[in-house]
Amino acid sequence: MTERWEGEFSSLSVAIIGGGVAGLVTAREFVREGAQVTLYEQRGQLGGVWAQGYRNFGLQSPKELYQLPCDQFDEQVPQYPKGEDVIRYLRNVARHGGVTARISKMNCKVTKLSKLEDRRGWQVEWRDPARGIGRAEHQLVVMCTGVYSTASSPVLPGTAGFQGQVIHSSQYHDPGATTTRAASNVSCGLAHGKTVVVVGGGKSAADVAMDASKTADRVVLVSRRFHWPIPLEIVCESKWWMLNRITSSCLPLYQRPSSSELRCHCCCGSCIWCWWRIVEVF
């Protein structure tokens, strides 16, 4: 059953679990309303997956589509920001919204939620490596843990006997790093001089494959179904070609297509086919 808060926000105690994008925005909005907010983050820094991303990660959409209405990216940030640009932006959002200085509990992993029996609210139990187990009571708990906080690595046949190294994309951090060892430059990167097989066809797979190709001897991308990547520029910036209602109508029909999309695919199927072949050429 959904409950509604009827009192003043200034008397509302809110626990927000997770310091990623959703947690930061939720915390900032509650702070603006005057609520008493505590944000629990199990790691030592805010930013969620952006704070622990793989090498060479970044946005695949223009920055205007990822920024908040009242907190925009700096003008000098590129059109498609890199991971460090996004982290810097999120930290500015947290600082300007009062999240960093006033309400964040870092390195606190929430281990248990218990509903209070005698009054409305929840008891939050967390574990801090430095101070041990702690508890606090809140009238509202908001879960902002996201769907990418835990890496998913399938166990494939033959993995145990494989002589190489098997990692998740989230562990791909220093593929081309070099260090001075015994007065000589020795590459200690993950991909340097190796044959790298990237399993998957999503954004992280494409990013890792492209970055590994700079230092690896050979890179093989294995995917059940290939997705055509859209170039950043097609005559002009691709956002003017791709991010509009006409192009969205040319995409494969989703679960509940609109009447205009149905008419477009029924009457202009050959035009849609030609449009995507042109995109593939570029």
CA distances in angstroms from 26 to 14, 93, 185, 202, listed in the order given: 10, 11, 47, 28
pLDDT tens digits in sequence order for the chain, 282 residues long:
455 655 667 778 899 999 888 999 999 889 888 888 999 988 888 888 888 778 778 888 888 888 888 888 988 998 888 888 998 898 888 888 878 766 778 888 899 999 998 888 899 999 988 888 989 999 999 999 887 777 778 888 888 888 888 888 888 876 555 433 333 333 347 888 899 999 988 888 888 888 888 889 999 999 887 776 666 666 666 677 677 777 778 877 777 888 888 888 888 888 888 888 877 776
Beta strands in the chain (DSSP E): 13-17, 36-40, 104-105, 109-115, 122-128, 132-138, 140-143, 178-181, 184-187, 195-199, 218-222, 233-234, 236-237
> What pLDDT is stored for residue 155 in this prediction?
81
Cβ within 8 Å of residue 52, ≥6 positions away:
43, 170
Of 126, 128, 124, the C-alpha closest to 138 is: 124
pLDDT at 231: 67
- State the Cα–Cα distance between residues 42 and 87, nearest whole angstrom: 17
In the chain, the N- to C-terminal Cα span, in Å, equals 52
Report pLDDT for 203: 84
Q: How far apart are CA 52 and CA 62, in angstroms?
A: 21
Q: How many CA atoms lie within 13 A of 268 on its CB side?
A: 16
C-alpha angle 173/188/80, rounded to 5°? 30
How confident is the model at residue 172, as a pLDDT?
86
Model pLDDT, residue 141 = 93
Residue 184: per-residue pLDDT: 33
Give Cα 192 to chain centroid, integer Å. 27
Q: Is 57 exposed, middle or buried (0-12, 13-18, 19+ CB in 10 A)?
A: buried
Place of tokens 């790093």: 177
Q: What are the structural domain ranges in the chain?
A: 9-143, 169-222, 233-281
Matching CATH number, 9-143, of 3.50.50.60, 3.40.50.300, 3.30.70.20, 3.90.1720.10:
3.50.50.60
Note the maximum CA span of the chain.
Answer: 69
User: In sequence order, what are the beta bridge partners of 40?
Assistant: 17, 105
DSSP one-letter string for 68-131: BTTBPPPTTS-SS-BHHHHHHHHHHHHHHTTHHHHTEETT-EEEEEEE-SSSS-EEEEEEETTT
